[in-house]
Every structure is written in structure tokens, then in C-alpha cells.
């Protein structure tokens, strides 16, 4: 299965017993979820890209309460570090 929803459908129809997907995909399909690991994701970009309007819009979105609320609804996501800037040379 290429996506979480495809995997959930396979499990629900008995074509699969288990698989790797997000908690949100399992929850949306009414399936149980067992956490195997936590992963951190970073968005890497050039410094000049940070100032582009589309990236600034994304950063503003991640700072909104509605972003954290939606992640909480999906469960399994920690958005507290979202929008933090780490600069490396």
C-alpha cells in the first residue's frame, strides 16, 4: 500500500493484518494503533528562501492555534517545535 488510507482499507478488508502508517490514518479508519517510533521532521531551505512569501505564509500558519488544534485532533503529532529556526553554516 502506498498511502495510510490504502493500508487502512487493506486491513479493514482482511487483505493485510498490519502495516506502517500514521496514527491519524489508523484513527480515521477506526483501527487500533501501536506506536513503534517517533520521528522528527525538519524543513530545510536556503536562507534566501525563508523570506519568500509562500514560506512566510507557512510559518504564520504553523504559529496559529488552529494548526496545533488540528494536529491534536489527528493525534500523534507534537507541533511545539514547529516554526523554530535553526541556522547552520
Coil, strand or helix at 6: helix
Quote the pLDDT of residue 63.
Answer: 93
Least confident of 5-9, 15-19, 42-46, 55-59: 42-46
Question: Domain map of the chain by residue range?
Answer: 1-38, 40-77
pLDDT band at 87 (very low <50, low <70, confident <90, very high): confident
How far CA 2 is from CA of 20, 76, 87, in Å, comes to 10, 20, 34
Q: What is the pLDDT of residues 29-75, one digit of tens each?
A: 999 999 888 888 888 999 999 999 999 999 999 999 999 999 988 88
Quote the pLDDT of residue 86.
Answer: 83
Amino acid at each position: 500500500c502506498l498511502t495510510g488510507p490504502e493500508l487502512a482499507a487493506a486491513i479493514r478488508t482482511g487483505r493485510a493484518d498490519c502495516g506502517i502508517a500514521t496514527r491519524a490514518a489508523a484513527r480515521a479508519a477506526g483501527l487500533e494503533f501501536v506506536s513503534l517510533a517517533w520521528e522528527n521532521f525538519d524543513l530545510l531551505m536556503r536562507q534566501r528562501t525563508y523570506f519568500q512569501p509562500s514560506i512566510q505564509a507557512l510559518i504564520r500558519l504553523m504559529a496559529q492555534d488552529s494548526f496545533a488544534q488540528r494536529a491534536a485532533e489527528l493525534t500523534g503529532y507534537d507541533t511545539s517545535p514547529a516554526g523554530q529556526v535553526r541556522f547552520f553554516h
